[in-house]
Structure 1
Amino acid sequence: MSQVARNFTEQAYETRQERRQVSSSQKAVSVTIGEWVTVILCAVILAGLAYFVINNQSALYEMNKNIATVEADIENQQTRNEDLSMQVSELSTYERVWAKAKEQGLELREDNVKVVEGE
């Protein structure tokens, strides 16, 4: 009797296995045209967004590089301007001007000196 029950259980198990095989083979996925269009459209949109982001990042990088170059040029020019201002102040001292005037043969005559007030 236990052999009969065992055979019955094995047959039931085999029957379930056959049903699973049949049902799994019937589950073939069919994709509709609308689904394909949706997937392709999403892929195109994703690619477009990726291109847009990369393009903007490239433009920002280039702009930041140009800004850094201009700022460096401005700093160099400011340093040069400060150096030239120092040279002007050194070269325009009264003693230097008087020494250059003497080299040129000019003399200071007290009766010919006029005082000009600065504004």
Structure 2
Amino acid sequence: MSEIAVEYLPILLFLVVGIVFALIFVGAPILVSGLTGTAKPDSVKLSEYESGFPAFSDSRHRFDVRFYLVAILFIIFDLEAAFLFPWAVSLHWGGPEAWWSMMMFLFILTIGLAYEWKSGALEWE
């Protein structure tokens, strides 16, 4: 073997191992799913879930805007929780500026929640 081939041997080995693992992690679930029968559709598997609308209907089908409002509310308050935990852990380093900035952030979110509540987005029929 030449000296250049010996230098590239670890890269080639890494590539071969990566391809083998990729084939295992992609091929094995497909094979297991085919053997266990999860790939065989029936009426229950093809029924609608989550949104309550048929899964394979026209893409221009109208549906209620409340789904969007609930999704937006979830994102808003999920982000609030994501910002609130690190802020609470590091509050002693930020001082009063950090406290007031978070109070302003929470105030804006409270205004958004009050608006959504007042507009009836939280009421479901």
State if a TM-score over 0.5 links the two structures.
no
* Higher share in helix: 1
Tell me the TM-score normalised to structure 2 length: 0.30
Tell me the TM-score normalised to structure 1 length: 0.31
Q: Relative contact order, CA 8 A, sep 6+: which one is greater?
A: 2
The structure with the largest alpha-carbon Rg is 1
